[in-house]
Structure 1
Amino acid sequence: MNDARPRKRSLTLHGHRTSVSLEDAFWVAFVEMARAEDLSVNALAMRIDSNRGVSAGLASAIRVAVLRHAQASGRG
C-alpha cells in the first residue's frame, strides 16, 4: 500500500460497469468503510454517486466520503 499513484478500480453502478482511479490508501479505506456500514463496495459507491451531484467526479466524491467517515470515526 505504498503506491501513491491512482489505480483504476472497477465498480458496477445501477447495472453498468464503470471505473474509478483511486490511490491504494483510499481504496483500502473505502472497502473498510463499506464493511463498517454493512454494504458492498458497489452499494456504497451507488450511495455516494447518488449524493455527489454533477460538480464532483465519482473518485473525488469517494475520497471526500472516506475522509468524512474517518473524521467521524475519530481517525481523521
Structure 2
Amino acid sequence: MSGPPVKRSLSLRGHRTSVSLEEPFWHEFRAIAQAEGKAINALAAEIDATRELETGLASAIRVYVLQKVKARAAN
C-alpha cells in the first residue's frame, strides 16, 4: 500500500489551502505539472476551477492524475 494521505499546502489564486493525497499521487501530480511546464499550484488551480462543487479538491486531483496515467498507458 501507499500509506496514509500526506497533507501539503497549496496556493490557489492567492489563497492557501491544504490537500491530503497519498505519496504516489503527490509524486505523479508533480511529474505531470513538470511535464506540462506548470507550477504545481497553477495546475491545482486549473483543476480546482473545473471541478464540480460537490467534488473535493483532493478527489479531483486524484481523478486528474488517474486520467493522465491512463492516457499515457494507452499511447
Tell me the TM-score normalised to structure 2 length.
0.93
Q: Residue 51 in 1 paired to residue 50 in 2? A: yes
Moved over 4 A (4+): none
- TM-score normalized by the length of structure 1: 0.92
Q: Report what 1:72 is aligned to.
A: 71
Equivalent residues in 2 for 1:1-76 (5 A)?
3-74=2-73
**Secondary structure in 2 aligned to 1:74?**
helix
Equivalents in 2 of 1:62, 1:4: separation in Å? 18
1:11-44 superposed Cα distances (whole Å, 9 cap, x missing partner): 0001011000000000000000101111000000
Deviation of 1:7 (Å): 1.0
Q: How many residues align?
A: 74
**Structure 2: how far apart are the matches of 1:40 and 1:33?**
10
Runs of at least 5 residues in structure 2 that lack an aligned partner in the other structure:
none
- 1:3 deviates by 4.4
CA RMSD of aligned residues (A): 1.3
